[in-house]
Amino acid sequence: MRNLMLKLEYDGTNYHGWQRQDNAVTVQEVLENALKKITKEDISVTGCSRTDTGVHALGFVCNFYTQGNIPADRLPYALNSILPYDIVALECQEVFEDFHARYWAKGKKYRYRILNRGFPSAFERNYVCHWPYPLDIDLMQEAARFFIGEHDFKAFMSSGSAVKDTVRNVYDLTVDKKVAVCTKGYMNNQKLNHEIIIEISANGFLYNMVRIIVGTLIYVANGKIKLEDIPDIIMQGDRRKAGITAPPQGLYLVEVYY
């Protein structure tokens, strides 16, 4: 029996997250069906995390056991000939028998994209969070510093999670701004797009933790939460005092650390 580790990239728009569900199409289900066609086995795939409906992945890691003898480096080619266009196998390798994509992970990195302009994008509506009101990026950067380090992030976890230990260590949290400029036509040199990119890496994340931290940074940036209140919100652990849960479509799982 071989244990194979597979890295995926997927667009989560058409899926109800990673985890297999009885009444909805998920990435796990589609992948397992494709693997069955190749190996002729009933494959059960273990994912590194449970991404939500509409969330994307640039480097999702999973593993599965097989008795098949297809070379690991050829498996992505076989999979990509079967998988739909919005799921791509990037690489595959044989790993230790006891490797577990979720339990062996030492940390993860996420990216969140905010389109900060008056009108939404016709093309990127499934890949960014559209926020039409002005955001003070300097305040967002100042607020981000309070989240770095080991804290109890209970205030940044959605209800419904059974996790008892809510302490996590955030290694890094950055907020950057990218401006796209039109260089042709009658709107020459007009600034059209203000995209804010938030990246966060940690040893682990609670349910919706990234999206709630992003929502809190947004609230700081437009004055709904005071910058100096962030340490108290973290310390008190009251979800009601943090910001909104930002929409899923702006979120990307970038990398898993092992």
Helix %, strand %, coil % of the chain (to 5)? 30, 30, 40
- The amino acid sitting at 11 is D
Name the DSSP class of 241. G
Q: Are 44 and 64 within 8 A, CB to CB?
A: yes
Name the DSSP class of 117. S
Diameter of the chain by CA atoms? 64
Known catalytic residue at 229: no
- State the catalytic residue, choosing from 52, 136, 138, 152: 52
Phi then psi for residue 105, to 5 deg, are: -70, 130
- Residue 64 CA to residue 5 CA, distance in Å, equals 7
Write the CB contacts of 192 (distance below 8 Å, at least 6 apart in sequence): 117, 180, 181, 182
Residues with a catalytic annotation lie at: 52
